[in-house]
């Protein structure tokens, strides 16, 4: 494995993602809706996947396996976010409305850096794929097959969580209520949980490749972002603002992230 070639692939991916996010920022500035960043954060990964598949020099079958599952997962997520955000393009999500209020006249400038940070995070999170697709070993190991199984469970779980929430929101009788059925009865953010599990699967897959331990950075970053930055905290704050009584009650009976975790406030 040539680390210089890996850095070259990462640099090309970074330039592509930064340029895409620059264009998205211009669009978001024009339509006054920063929520579009979520859609293109997900859709940047297929761009990285294509670049990596073309430029990497690893075993072809392994490249097809890892790039295939990653492409499936991120295209599904991107399409789901597209329906959620683009379907309500004239209505900016509450967390971005709040940021716009906090940043005031500096909102456009701060959103530019925010969008570029998303591009950088795309490339950092893609580290497992740079490593895996460079592996020349012509045999797929047992640990890689195990990782595929874990990924499949995570993919189905996240898809179910998203579908359950979408179905709940479509019912006009549920306006002002909190989705607490299906997977949402066990975790307030089962979609985030299974997203993290899928990144753990990529890390486990990478362990069969040289330098695979470096791939731990991806699930670590995802977990930090989900628990401390843009995931759970923002979502919880927004829900507490929009439906404080119902959501506080929901918090008392469910775990914030892990289905088996300690309940908030318990």
Buried-exposed string 3-30: b where 16+ CB fall within 10 A, e elsewhere: eeebeebbebbbebbbebbeebbeebee
CA neighbor of 9 nearest in space, from 125, 134, 100? 134
Return the number of other C-beta atoms located less than 10 Å from residue 143's C-beta.
Answer: 14
Per-residue confidence (pLDDT) for residue 167, from 0 to 100: 93
Question: Rounded CA gap, 149 and 94, in Å?
Answer: 36
- Residue whose token pair is 């640099």: 11
Q: Burial, 265: exposed, middle or buried (Cβ in 10 Å; 0-12, 13-18, 19+)?
A: exposed
Per-residue confidence (pLDDT) for residue 266, from 0 to 100: 38
Q: Is the Cα dihedral 169, 173, 175, 179 positive or negative?
A: negative
- Residue whose token pair is 């079958």: 61
Alpha helix segments (H runs only) across the chain: 3-31, 36-55, 60-85, 94-103, 107-125, 127-132, 142-170, 190-206, 217-224, 232-242, 244-253
C-alpha gyration radius of the chain: 19
Per-residue confidence (pLDDT) for residue 25, from 0 to 100: 97
Residues in a beta bridge with 255: 187, 263
Per-residue confidence (pLDDT) for residue 255, from 0 to 100: 86
Per-residue confidence (pLDDT) for residue 261, from 0 to 100: 57
Per-residue confidence (pLDDT) for residue 104, from 0 to 100: 92
> pLDDT tens track of the chain, all 266 residues?
677 889 999 999 999 999 999 999 999 999 999 999 999 999 999 999 999 999 999 999 999 999 999 999 989 988 888 887 877 788 888 788 888 999 999 999 999 999 999 999 999 999 999 999 999 999 999 999 999 999 999 999 999 999 999 899 899 999 889 998 899 988 999 999 999 999 999 999 999 999 999 999 999 999 998 998 878 888 888 888 888 888 888 888 888 888 875 444 43
| pTM above threshold 0.85 | yes
Residue 232 near residue 257, CB atoms below 8 Å: yes
């Amino acid at each position: 494995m040539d680390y210089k070639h890996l850095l070259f692939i990462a640099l090309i991916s970074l330039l592509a993602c930064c340029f895409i996010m620059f264009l998205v920022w211009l669009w978001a500035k024009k339509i006054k809706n920063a929520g579009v960043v979520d859609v293109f954060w997900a859709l940047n990964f297929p761009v990285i996947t294509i670049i990596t598949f073309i430029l990497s020099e690893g075993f072809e079958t392994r490249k097809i396996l890892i790039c295939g599952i990653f492409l499936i997962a991120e295209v599904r997520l991107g399409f789901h976010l597209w329906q959620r955000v683009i379907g309500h393009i004239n209505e900016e999500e509450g967390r971005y409305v709040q940021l716009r209020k906090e940043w005031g006249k500096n909102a456009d400038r701060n959103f530019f850096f925010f969008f570029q940070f998303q591009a950088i995070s795309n490339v950092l999170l893609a580290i497992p794929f740079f490593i895996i697709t460079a592996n020349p070993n012509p045999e797929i190991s047992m640990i890689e097959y195990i990782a595929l199984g874990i990924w499949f469970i995570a993919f189905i779980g996240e898809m179910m969580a998203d579908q359950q929430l979408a179905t709940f929101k479509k019912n006009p009788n549920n306006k002002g209520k909190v989705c607490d059925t299906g997977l949402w009865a066990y975790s307030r953010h089962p979609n985030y949980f299974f997203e993290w599990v899928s990144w753990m699967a990529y890390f486990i897959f990478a362990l069969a490749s040289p330098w695979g331990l470096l791939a731990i950075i991806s699930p670590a970053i995802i977990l930090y972002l989900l628990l401390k930055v843009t995931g759970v905290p923002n979502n919880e704050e927004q829900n507490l603002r929009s439906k404080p009584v119902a959501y506080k009650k929901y918090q008392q009976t469910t775990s914030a992230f892990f289905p088996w975790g300690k309940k908030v406030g318990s």
